[in-house]
Amino acid sequence: MANRTLELRSAVPELSRNSRIGRQDGPARLVVSEMTGISVVSIAARKGQSGSLQGAVKKLFKIELPNTPRRVEAGGVAFLWAGPDQWIAITNMAAHPDFDRELVAKLGKFASFTDQGDARTLIRVSGPASREVIATGVPLDLHPRAFQPDDVALTHASHIAVTIWQIDEEPTFVFAVARGFARSFWHWLSDSGSIHGIEVSPGT
């Protein structure tokens, strides 16, 4: 019998290699990369167990689960609010190779967990033109006074459902996009950002 292994492939091949897109003169004002090697797990508290889940997460990860659209992180594990009694947990696969099973084993009596690692594409966007470019398709006020580091929003980008959060004041944003729509998301982002020059840095 032939030895067959599955090959990990990006949903957006253009993000798998270094490149410069659009305007070529001067430094690129938009930097885009796909975040790889990341575990993404969705969490939904069982009925009546939200308080117990939050207490267990605090004990295990030293984290207060957010009850508003925020992101919290400690010890290399981040939890993002994803709706009432729902969260997304994100960490590096090297540190937690079986993150979904780890969560089920430790917290399964309080919540349901779904591995989203193959279902979501995480795309990081930064650079001086990032707010301007994102604003062309995302109906959010991204002014620094309105959207700050660790803020989270469930919204859409050019009619594509996304979760967006800000991770620093540079600013750097991360989009979680359903894998099946990641290519369409990239078409919008690259078209909107090409006038500023886009630097693609894969695998960060």
**Got the DSSP string for 114-181?**
EE-TTTEEEEEEESTTHHHHHTTT--S--STTTS-TTBEEEEEETTEEEEEEEEETTTEEEEEEEGGG
Which pLDDT score, from 0 to 100, does residue 77 have? 96
Which pLDDT score, from 0 to 100, does residue 61 have? 94
Residue 120 amino acid letter: R
Residue 18 amino acid letter: N
- Mean pLDDT for each 10-residue chunk of the chain (204 residues)? 62 90 94 94 97 96 96 96 97 91 96 94 97 97 96 97 97 97 97 97 74
Domains of the chain plus CATH, in order, are 13-36+119-200 (3.30.1360.120), 38-115 (3.30.70.1520)
Helix (H) or strand (E) holding 182: helix 182-193
Contact 163, 176 (CB under 8 A): yes
Which pLDDT score, from 0 to 100, does residue 45 have? 98
Question: What is the C-alpha separation between 33 and 15, in angstroms, rounded?
Answer: 6
Contact 4, 176 (CB under 8 A): no
Helix (H) or strand (E) holding 191: helix 182-193
Residue 187 amino acid letter: H
pTM, 2 dp: 0.92
Which pLDDT score, from 0 to 100, does residue 95 have? 87
Helix (H, G, I), strand (E, B) or coil at 90: strand
